[in-house]
């Protein structure tokens, strides 16, 4: 029997490795940014075109590479970060496996220019599908510039699995945030299709967070600091009142590396227990420093999932530290039984001397002394005179007989629309429709009893309503007397610009969308004026999540997000007319059985099923 096991060619092995390292354009961005940081760069530029499918370019002013190193960097398992297996347990750099550049070069066109600080000229290398096309000398400034073009050009199946440009850009932006947040001492510039998205100068952690997520974020942050033998914790948490329905600004960093840790996330949530609702998520930016030998970051190719030696101790320290910060900065309520607030001196009077009040008394005053014929005391209890009371009503009779109210006309709101039932049938159905536990609407049908889930049913009604308005562009807008100004960070503002046309079709009206400020001049009838900011925040958050898979259109994502936020909730009380309207509107929908989130909206319990309960 012939031998069947063979060694794979290098270009095939590189393509297989690329499947682990490079999942999408954001993976390339992560690897290139981390390489630039390891090179000691003080300023990094990220340039993107078409969501990273056409071009990903990273330019840094780091120490650069020699001609030999530039050529060798694209070989598999070639790295300057480690030299022995023992180095894996004492890592201080971002990359160490030596697979990133080799994997990227296997599935893209790579163009690299690099120059050492002491060299007069640099090296220019072009690679296509792991094959070096050219290598030549080039004049350039100190540092490295790597351009990755036409990602997955030789693997069409992988390229077809990429999402839309907007979705891929959002993933790239997330990776950019994770790198920029942990390195405030490095200046970052981010360009997409020729326009600047972020320009982040060198600064401190707090200012870097504000530059990325908007100036209003700085006022929401509460500092967290703790240093023990096990871990050093620093960073910020968001105040409880600014928690969100979705997981937004939640970042863990261990030894200057972004990580994902559900266990430590639970410690943060536990610290907020009692301060936020169970369905809300707190925001945090936490930086952990631990002994490199006590953490394993090599358990996953993306290096975001890590393993700590003593997670239980880390959990307890993190939870108590956050609780201490919440109490220290008066974010959490504190009971002090020894303190009497009534004894506090007002701030404005702390430095003033005590002055005795002055009271003047009229010593000659006599309340029983008579003046005239009636004493003051008796006069104060005199019965008031009723003489001339008829004059108070003179002229009223003539006005009533006149035509004073004949000119008042109550305008009709149009012709009375017909109803599904006659008056007798309507009264019968209203009598047999009731709300059960503020969650279900129960009514009767010919086959038995109809039970409707009020929240899901209303979501279906609103979904089809908004979807139709976006498509037909016939949404009704209620104009505001005074424009409402709202602030958003650059990423959220970009999403609002992206969906502005669809929002206008629903009924939203915007005067301006620039400089982190949005002026709202109109809103749909279904949105309360006091809830515009909340609705837009949740709309943006749901839009990010709903568009992540790229399978839904923009109109469907917006209609789902709006219906989710504006539908009646479990616990809302509905009157008889609202219950009947819910029943009628649900069965007027094209798909009344399921909510927009593919959950059952109603069920019918037949008379036979009820009879079986009594058999």
- Cα 490 from Cα 487, distance rounded (Å): 10
Alpha-carbon distances of 211 from 57, 319, 432, 532, 606, rounded to whole Å: 23, 28, 58, 25, 60
Domains defined along the chain, listed by start = 10-200 (3.30.565.10), 205-328 (3.30.230.10), 429-604 (3.30.1370.100)
Count CB atoms within 10 A of the CB of residue 368. 7
Work out the percent of the chain whose per-residue pLDDT is above 90: 33
**List of E strands, 165-248:** 187-192, 195-200, 221-227, 232-238
| Residue 124 · residue 71 · CB < 8 Å | no
Give Cβ neighbours of residue 111 (< 8 Å, ≥ 6 apart).
124, 125, 126, 127, 146, 147, 149
Q: Mean pLDDT over residues 575-597, rounded? A: 91
**Quick one: pLDDT band at residue 32, thresholds 50, 70, 90?**
very high
Please tell me the least confidently modeled range out of 117-121, 166-170, 299-303, 480-484: 299-303
Written in H, E and C, the secondary structure of 67-111 is: HHHHHHCCCCCCCCCCCCHHHHHCCCCCCCCCCHHHHHHHCCEEE
* Mean pLDDT of the chain, nearest integer: 81
Write down the residue that tokens 């320009």 correspond to. Answer: 199
Q: What is the pLDDT of residue 379?
A: 46
Q: Where does residue 371 rank: exposed (0-12), middle (13-18), buried (19+ CB within 10 A)?
A: exposed
Of 163-177, 205-219, 223-237, 430-444, give the lowest mean pLDDT range: 430-444
The two structure tokens encoding residue 97? 């496996």
Q: What secondary structure letter does DSSP report for 591?
A: S
pLDDT at 419 over 60: no
Distance CA 467, CA 559 (A): 5
- How far apart, in whole angstroms, are the C-alpha atoms of residue 75 and residue 537? 47
Q: Which range among 124-133, 188-197, 505-514, 593-602 shows the weakest confidence by mean pLDDT? A: 505-514
Q: What is the pLDDT of residue 55?
A: 95
Cα distance between residue 388 and residue 201, in whole Å: 85
Q: Cα separation of 136 and 112, whole Å? A: 11
Q: The tokens 């880390």 sit on which residue?
A: 314
Confidence of residue 375 (pLDDT cuts 50, 70, 90): very low
CA distance 303 to 412: 68
Specify which residues 600 forms β-bridges with. 594
Neighbouring CB atoms inside 10 A of 557's CB total 21
CA-nearest of 17, 604, 485 to 216 is 485
What's the pLDDT at 191? 94
- Residue 602 CA to residue 449 CA, distance in Å, equals 11
Which range is least confidently modeled, 2-16, 219-233, 274-288, 316-330? 2-16
- Tell me: pLDDT of 440 over 90: yes
Of 222-226, 265-269, 333-337, minimum mean pLDDT range:
333-337
Question: In terms of residues, how long is the chain?
Answer: 615
pTM exceeds cut of 0.85: no
Residue 304 has pLDDT above 70, yes or no: yes
Under 8 Å between Cβ of 105 and 14: yes
> What does the pLDDT average to over 335-342?
59
Q: Are 140 and 146 in contact (CB under 8 A)?
A: no
Q: Say if residues 177 and 249 touch (Cβ distance below 8 Å).
A: no
pLDDT of residue 406: 43
For 317-340, give one letter per residue: b (16+ CB within 10 A) or e.
bbbebbbebbeeeebbeeeeeeee
514 DSSP β-pair partners: 517
Which of the given ranges, 10-14, 82-86, 415-419, has the highest pLDDT on average?
A: 10-14
Quote the CA–CA distance of 550 and 167 in Å, as a whole number.
7
Q: Do residues 231 and 266 lie in contact, with contact meaning Cβ atoms separated by under 8 Å?
A: no
8 Å CB contact between 555 and 470: yes
For position 90, what pLDDT does the model report?
61
- Please compute the mean of the pLDDT values over residues 566-575 and round it to a whole number: 90
Predicted confidence (pLDDT) per residue in 70-123, tens digit: 888 888 767 666 555 555 556 666 665 567 888 898 889 999 999 998 889 999
- Residue 512's φ and ψ, nearest 5 degrees, are -155, 150
CB burial readout 387-413, b (16+ within 10 A) else e: eeeeeeeeeeeeeeeeeeeeeeeeeee
Q: Mean pLDDT, to the nearest integer, of 322-350?
A: 68
pLDDT at 281 over 60: yes
What average pLDDT does the segment 346-371 reach? Answer: 70
Query: What pLDDT sits at residue 547?
Result: 53
pLDDT average, residue stretch 342-365? 68
Q: How sure is the predictor about 360, in pLDDT bands with cuts at 50, 70 and 90? A: confident
> Which helix (H) or strand (E) segment is 513 a member of?
strand 509-514
Can you list the pairs that 29-32 forms with residues at least 24 positions away whose Cβ atoms lie under 8 Å? 29/56, 29/58, 29/172, 29/175, 29/176, 30/175, 30/178, 30/179, 30/302, 31/95, 31/100, 31/101, 31/104, 32/56, 32/58, 32/100, 32/146, 32/148
- pLDDT number for residue 397: 56
Of the candidate ranges 56-60, 332-336, 399-403, the one whose mean pLDDT is the lowest: 399-403
Which of residues 258 and 400 earns the better pLDDT score? 258
Given this model, what pLDDT does residue 109 score?
Answer: 94
């Amino acid at each position: 029997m012939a031998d069947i096991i063979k060694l794979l060619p290098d270009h095939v092995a590189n393509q297989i490795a690329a499947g682990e390292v490079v999942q999408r354009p954001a993976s390339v961005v992560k690897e290139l940014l981390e390489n630039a940081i390891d090179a000691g760069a003080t300023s990094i530029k990220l340039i993107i075109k078409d969501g990273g499918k056409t071009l990903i370019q990273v330019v840094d002013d780091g120490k650069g590479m020699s001609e030999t190193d530039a050529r060798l960097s694209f070989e598999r398992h070639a790295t300057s970060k480690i030299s022995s297996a023992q180095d894996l347990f004492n890592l201080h750099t971002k990359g160490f496996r030596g697979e990133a550049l080799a994997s990227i070069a296997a599935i893209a066109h790579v163009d690299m220019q690099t120059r050492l600080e002491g060299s007069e000229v640099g090296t220019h290398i072009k690679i296509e599908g792991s094959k070096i096309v050219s290598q030549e000398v080039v004049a350039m400034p100190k540092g490295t510039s790597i351009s990755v073009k036409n990602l997955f050009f030789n693997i069409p199946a992988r390229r077809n699995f990429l999402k839309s440009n907007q979705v891929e850009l959002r993933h790239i932006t997330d990776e950019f945030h994770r790198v920029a947040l942990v390195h405030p001492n490095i200046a970052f510039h981010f360009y997409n299709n020729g326009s600047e998205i972020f320009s982040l100068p060198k600064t401190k952690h707090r200012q870097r967070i504000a530059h990325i997520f908007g100036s209003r974020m700085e006022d929401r942050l509460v500092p967290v600091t703790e240093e023990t033998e096990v871990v050093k914790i620093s960073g910020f948490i968001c105040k409880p009142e600014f928690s969100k329905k979705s997981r937004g600004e939640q970042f863990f960093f261990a030894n200057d590396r972004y990580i994902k840790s559900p266990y430590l996330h639970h410690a943060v949530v536990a610290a907020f227990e009692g301060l936020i609702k169970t369905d809300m998520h707190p925001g945090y930016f936490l930086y952990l420093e631990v002994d490199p030998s006590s953490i394993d970051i090599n358990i996953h190719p993306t290096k975001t999932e890590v393993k700590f030696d003593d997670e239980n101790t880390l959990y307890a320290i993190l939870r108590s530290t956050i609780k201490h910060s919440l109490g220290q900065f008066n974010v959490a309520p504190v009971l002090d039984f020894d303190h009497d607030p009534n004894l506090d001196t007002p701030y404005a009077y702390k430095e003033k001397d005590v002055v005795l009040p002055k009271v003047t008394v009229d010593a000659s005053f006599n309340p029983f002394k008579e003046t005239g014929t009636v004493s003051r005391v008796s006069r104060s209890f005199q019965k008031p005179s009723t003489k001339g009371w008829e004059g108070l009503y003179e002229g009223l009779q003539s006005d009533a007989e006149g035509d004073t109210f004949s000119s008042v006309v109550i305008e009709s709101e149009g012709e009375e629309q017909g109803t599904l039932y006659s008056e007798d049938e309507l009264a019968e159905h209203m009598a047999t429709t009731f709300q059960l536990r503020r969650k279900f609407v129960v009514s009767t049908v010919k086959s038995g009893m109809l039970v409707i889930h009020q929240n899901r049913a209303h979501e279906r009604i609103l979904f089809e309503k908004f979807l139709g308005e976006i498509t037909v562009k016939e949404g009704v807008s209620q104009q505001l007397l005074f424009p409402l100004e709202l602030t958003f960070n650059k990423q959220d503002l970009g999403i609002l610009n992206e969906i502005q046309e669809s929002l206008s079709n629903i009924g939203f009206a915007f005067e301006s969308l620039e400089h982190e400020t949005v002026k709202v001049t109109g809103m749909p009838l279904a949105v309360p004026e006091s809830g515009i900011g909340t609705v837009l925040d949740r709309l943006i958050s749901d839009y990010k999540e709903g568009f992540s898979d790229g399978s839904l259109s923009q109109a469907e994502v917006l209609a789902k997000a709006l219906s989710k936020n504006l539908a009646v909730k479990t616990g809302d009380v509905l009157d008889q007319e609202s219950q009947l309207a819910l029943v009628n509107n649900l069965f007027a929908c094209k798909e009344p059985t399921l909510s927009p989130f593919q959950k059952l909206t109603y069920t019918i319990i037949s008379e036979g099923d009820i009879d079986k309960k009594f058999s």
